[in-house]
Amino acid sequence: MNRGISPITEPGVDELLREGLAAGRISAYTEVGDRLHDCDMAIVCVGTPSAPDGAHNMTFIAEVTRQIAVAIGRERTSPLTMVYRSTIRPGTVEGLIVPILAAELGDSFEDIVELIYNPEFLRESSAVQDFFDPPKIVIGTVDGEPSARMDLLNQNLKAATFYVRVAEAEITKFVDNTWHAVKVTFANEIGRICMQLGLNTKSVHEIFVSDTKLNISPYYMRPGGAFGGSCLPKDVRALQYIATDCGANAHLVDALLRSNEAHKYRLFEYATQNLAPGASILLVGLAFKAHTDDLRESPNIDLARRLLQERYDLSVFDPAIDANKLIGANLGYAYTRIPTLSRLLVTREAAERRSWDCVIITNDTYRMLDLSKNDNIVNLNTLS
């Protein structure tokens, strides 16, 4: 590096390295020594390879943290900003890095060190371009508040900037990279199905990505309720059958319904945590979507059934549903799962008159109610 030779092949790096060396801005060493004394910031970019069990191997993170802690010394007049950019699992800063710093520098290490987690979003072969034109900037601090030095570092970069707590920043790369893997896998599974059926995969792809209102948008990417209704479960099952029938083996698609069932149960646990047996519950919204009476495969029906099975005192407010007017599949789906449906439905006046042990909101039906008497309101549309 000191001779201007990059240890990796990446477009633009050789030129930047030579420019930095010529301007006296870059020098490379194999030992930290006393070089941190005059530094405001140390940026950690070591590898976190996979361990045999699939977890990240944190050996390099631990070792470089210890080396920096030893080299800092306790005499600094201003804190050293330690910025970690390596991909690390949530809890690493708190559970691994902080104990190492405390062991070397004492419990008052926070007077000497400002801890930052700043994940990088760099793609191989376009890393330099991605650094100067990032899709976003995520900065994790201990309290989620801004850092003056990080603002200075990024002052010439134009991108949405998010200051969050460290653990929320730590999970960001896992979310992004797993989603990218999901997208590639989904596209390839659809491609296999199209190939098996003799369809033009390019045309199918062009149609899919042209829909930026729903397909390529944040609309369905909001953590909240399980999917349901008359379309999604039915069509996923049908695509599963088509993929199996034509030999495409779409494993990602096969997992969707199982994952959705797991999410339904987790929402039940989330809604009923800390509730005493027999607690009174008002379920606001039974249909799949507000202002409709479509109960077919509504996850809210499944939630109501489980609440009844656990012997909670359940009432349901959904003015779009008239138990006496349900017909066909709507009637069958509702009453085979909740035979007592007609007794559970309450009027607006009854819903507002009582103070419930818990109010569970499943859709926008809650906007029709005054729930000010209730302290325990759980909104399953927005998980927190």
Statement to judge: residues 76 and 155 lie in one domain: yes
Statement to judge: residues 276 and 375 lie in one domain: yes
User: What is the residue range of 246's domain?
Assistant: 176-263
Residue 53's pLDDT band (cuts 50, 70, 90): confident
Residues 220-231 have pLDDT tens digits of: 888 899 999 888
Q: Cα(381)–Cα(299) distance, rounded to whole angstroms?
A: 12
Q: Cα(39)–Cα(201) distance, rounded to whole angstroms?
A: 54
Which pair of structure tokens corresponds to residue 184? 């590639």
Residues 249-303 have pLDDT tens digits of: 999 999 999 999 999 999 999 999 999 999 999 999 999 889 998 898 999 999 9
Q: What is the reported pLDDT for 382?
A: 82
Tally of domains within the chain: 3
pTM of the shown model: 0.85
Averaged over 15-29, what is the pLDDT? 96
Q: Which of 110, 142, 170 delimits the end of a domain?
A: 170
Q: Which residues are catalytic?
A: 231
- The CA-atom distances, in angstroms, between 108 and each of 16, 41, 102, 105, 165 are 38, 19, 7, 7, 20
Statement to judge: residues 58 and 151 lie in one domain: yes
Which pair of structure tokens corresponds to residue 239? 């695509």
Residues 227-251 have pLDDT tens digits of: 998 889 999 999 999 999 999 999 9
Q: Cα(350)–Cα(370) distance, rounded to whole angstroms?
A: 11
Q: What is the DSSP letter of 268?
A: H
Question: Three-state SS for 224?
Answer: coil
Q: Judge whether 17 lies within some domain.
A: no
Statement to judge: residues 213 and 195 lie in one domain: yes
- Of 126, 123, 121, give the one whose Cα is nearest residue 160: 121
CATH number at residue 346: 3.40.50.720
Q: Judge whether 102 lies within some domain.
A: yes
Statement to judge: residues 255 and 270 lie in one domain: no
Q: What is the DSSP letter of 93?
A: I
Q: Judge whether 372 lies within some domain.
A: yes
Q: Cα(309)–Cα(304) distance, rounded to whole angstroms?
A: 9
Statement to judge: residues 95 and 207 lie in one domain: no
Q: Which of 208, 241, 263 delimits the end of a domain?
A: 263
Check pLDDT > 90 for residue 68.
yes
Q: Which of 170, 188, 218 delimits the end of a domain?
A: 170
Q: What is the reported pLDDT for 331?
A: 85
Q: Judge whether 282 lies within some domain.
A: yes
Statement to judge: residues 44 and 121 lie in one domain: yes
Q: What is the reported pLDDT for 384?
A: 64
